[in-house]
Amino acid sequence: MRKITYFVPYPELAPVVRRLMDQPCYKGVFANASIKYFPRMYDLEVEDGCDLVIARGYSIHVIRERFNGAIVEIPITGSDIVNAIAQCREHTDCQKIGLIGDYSNMKDIQSMSSLFNINFVVYVIDNPDQIEDMVKRAIEEGCDALISGSHANKCVIKNGFKVYSGIIENSEEAIGRALNSAASLLKNMEYEANQMEFLRLLAENVTDGLIFVDDRERIGIANANVGRIFPNRRPVAGKGFQESFPFMAKNYLKACREKQHLDNEIYRTRDMNIAVDFTPVMIGGEYKGMIITIHDIGRLQQREAQIRSKLNEMGLYAKYQFSDIIHQSPVMEHVIERAEKFAAVTSNVLIYGETGTGKELVAQSIHNASKRKSGPFVAINCASFPENLLESELFGYEEGAFTGAVKGGKPGLFEQAHGGTLFLDEVSELPVSFQGKLLRVLQEREVRRVGGKKVVKIDVRIIAATNKNLKQMTLDGLFREDLLYRLDVLNLPLPPLRKRREDIRLLAEHYLMEYKEQFETCADHFTEDAMTLLSSYPFMGNIRELRNIVERISVTAQDTAVQVLDVEESLGLGEYDRQIQTAGQVGRIQDQAAAPAYIRNIQKEEIERLLKECGYNKSEVARRLGLNRTTLWRKMGKMGLL
């Protein structure tokens, strides 16, 4: 509650002021107001903690010398003077009236002389020290009545002058106007105080150091974190910025001169690295100062680690980078180079590739190499949800939207991915009826929760993946063409493992060592024959299948070196397939006579026909031909069908 003091020049005024202050329109405003009478002007004292003073006349001069707070002055109005003259005429037959005071703000005051048909003289006083001399002068010049403020009246009484002395009293209307001004001023003071407290709390709760330097290069604000970052420096508020932080002067002056924002200027102070931002404050095109934000780099790194940890717990964190993609093949090197270019922009990406080729690994790598790397990475397998659940999962839902909806509702994956990347795996499995809803979100960049009315703006990059030909699906009416255009802005085909056989050795050795450490098994390398046999396998399940096979080998191998027999058993090769030579002649039968004639006579055209009939299901083709799957893929390899 603001503390207010109303100074009254004569005691009779106090109850009038209190009555006006207690009006309902000022409820609570003047609850902490005191009304004080001061017999002598220079005895006037303003108590400590006072926020606002209301006074009139020459007492204002004394108050200004002793008080730096807000002051509301009660003006002397023309009607107040007229009332004082009328009182004078009632009590005396005066011939000449002297009006003593400073009435420079009143127009045509001399016209009152003709109004009352009386000799009327104004004696102007510039400061309170002139009051007594001016009273004496007025009397010497023949004034037989004086009208003035309370201080001139007291001077007449003190000196025993034999003249009428009337006090100009404020009307209730003038006092009311002053109280209205005081109430408005108090309201503004409260608002400004709240704003300043808000800014103070904001500055103190920012984890960075925050300094405001005014246009005279003086530090106006420095929050507590500045002292934490620079513990050996004294409080800097009020000092010159260049004097306090000379090592920042060059960039500070550059930002001042160019009126341009400078980001992440790096300095080392003591044993700490800091990053500093310089932000010029421009109001109405004029430079008003500089906001300087100081980041403790070590603390930023800790905070980033904490955020990443929490995102990881929520499953909203991309852990893979391009350096995690094990390869040496030129085709894969080209894929990575292309993906790195995609990471530099924000366009949507569509990744094509068979099952197990590492589509999500590449998607995470693109995210982590992009400007969105500090944002969430949210992944969803579109084939895992029926349409009704898919909508609530992606768009979220409000409380009560459906039976079982959690209290308070739930944000969807689009909202969770705001500022980051949403990975739509197996996007080809989206129901056609749902594709239109997804298209609208991608077009409008906003989402509405199920059962909700509020629209939420989103900033999300889409990376989609599929193992099917979406263009063919659009021709078959299974995928919307307009949605395909939204997703397929940048496209990235991933080669199957059989098209990058140079990478099989690297991958197999990597996984073997990984499982050795995980399972504490003995196998830690492949013999050349074993690796040759493994490298000849078609891996229709791609890297995922290779990883499973190496895991099986790691568990079953009996020695540190993985042998051919270990690979054969893990691949499930039969007695016939063990006749395959591994010394550079994989796929060649040692004894052609040992192979049944019907196997040797199977033609390429027959295999091609069966592949089409069986939907390229090689296990079914092998069953119809009476072959095991491994024999089939070797024949297909010879015929160029892989």
pLDDT, tens digit, 9 for 90 and up, residues 283-303: 888 899 999 999 888 877 777
Q: For residue 330, is pLDDT > 90?
A: yes
Do the two domains 206-299 and 316-495 of this chain adopt the same fold? no
Q: Poorest-confidence range of 462-466, 533-537, 558-562, 610-614?
A: 610-614
3-state SS assignment for residue 53? strand
Q: How confident is the model at residue 595 (pLDDT cuts 50, 70, 90)?
A: very low
- pLDDT of residue 376 exceeding 80: yes
Mean pLDDT along residues 148-155? 84
Mean pLDDT of 541-562: 94
Query: pLDDT at residue 521 above 90?
Result: yes
Note the pLDDT of residue 525.
95
Query: Average pLDDT in the 66-82 region?
Result: 84
Average pLDDT over residues 261-270: 84
pLDDT at position 582: 38
**φ, ψ (nearest 5 deg) of residue 291:** -95, 125
Query: What percent of the chain lies above the pLDDT cut of 70?
Result: 89
* Average confidence (pLDDT) over 466-495: 95
Statement: residue 307 has pLDDT above 70: no
Question: Averaged over 408-419, what is the pLDDT?
Answer: 88
Q: Does domain 502-639 have CATH number 3.40.50.2300?
A: no
Q: Residue 28 has what pLDDT?
A: 85
Q: Say whether domain 316-495 belongs to CATH 3.40.50.2000.
A: no
Buried b (16+ CB within 10 A) or exposed e, 592-611: eeeeeeeeeebeeeebeebb
* Residue 82 amino acid letter: V
Looking at per-residue pLDDT, the higher value among 237 and 507 belongs to 507
The pLDDT tens digits of the residues spanning 241-250 come to 998 889 999 9
Give the mean pLDDT of the chain.
Answer: 85
Report the 10 Å Cβ neighbour count for 301. Answer: 11
The Cα–Cα gap between 548 and 546 comes to 5
CATH class of 4-75+174-186: alpha beta
The vertex-28 CA angle with 24 and 30, nearest 5°, equals: 95
User: Domain map of the chain by residue range?
Assistant: 4-75+174-186, 79-169, 206-299, 316-495, 502-639
Q: Considering only CA atoms, which of 271, 299, 328 is closest in space to residue 207?
A: 299
Is a pLDDT exceeding 50 seen at residue 579?
Answer: no
Whether the CB-CB separation of 579 and 591 falls below 8 Å is answered with yes
The superfamily (CATH) of domain 206-299 is PAS domain (3.30.450.20)
Contacts of 68 (CB under 8 A, 6+ apart): none
Task: Lay out the sheet containing 145-148: strands in order across.
Answer: 119-124, 96-101, 145-148, 164-167
Q: Is the pLDDT of residue 119 over 90?
A: no
| pLDDT (average), residues 205-229 | 85
Q: Please state which of the ranges 65-69, 123-127, 333-337 shows the lowest mean pLDDT.
A: 123-127
Q: What is the pLDDT of residue 599?
A: 52
Give the model's pLDDT for residue 597: 44
Q: Which helix (H) or strand (E) holds 70?
A: strand 70-74
Specify the pLDDT at position 601: 55
Closest CA to 447 of 407, 396, 402: 396
- How confident is the model at residue 311, as a pLDDT? 57
Is the pLDDT at 142 greater than 60? The verdict is yes
**What's the CATH number of domain 79-169, 3.50.50.60, 3.40.50.10660, 3.40.50.150, 3.40.50.300?**
3.40.50.10660
Q: Given this model, what pLDDT does residue 113 score?
A: 60
pLDDT recorded at residue 575? 43
Predicted confidence at residue 609, as pLDDT, reads: 82
pLDDT score for 305: 61
The answer, yes or no, to whether residue 370 has pLDDT greater than 90, is yes
Query: What's the pLDDT score for residue 235?
Result: 57
Average pLDDT over residues 496-513: 95
Alpha helices in 575-628 (DSSP H): 597-600, 604-613, 618-625
pLDDT of 309 reads 57
Whether 497 and 357 have beta carbons less than 8 Å apart is answered as yes
E strand segments, 325-480? 349-352, 377-381, 396-397, 410-411, 421-425, 446-448, 455-457, 461-466
Q: Three-state SS for 292?
A: strand
Q: How far apart are CA 554 and CA 37, in angstroms?
A: 99
Q: Could you tell me the pLDDT band of residue 522, with boundaries at 50, 70 and 90?
A: very high
The whole-number pLDDT of residue 237 equals 74
Question: Looking at per-residue confidence, does 61 or 55 come out higher?
Answer: 55
Amino acid 310: pLDDT: 62
- d(CA 1, CA 228) in angstroms, rounded, equals 34
pLDDT tens for residues 35-53?
Answer: 988 877 777 788 888 989 9
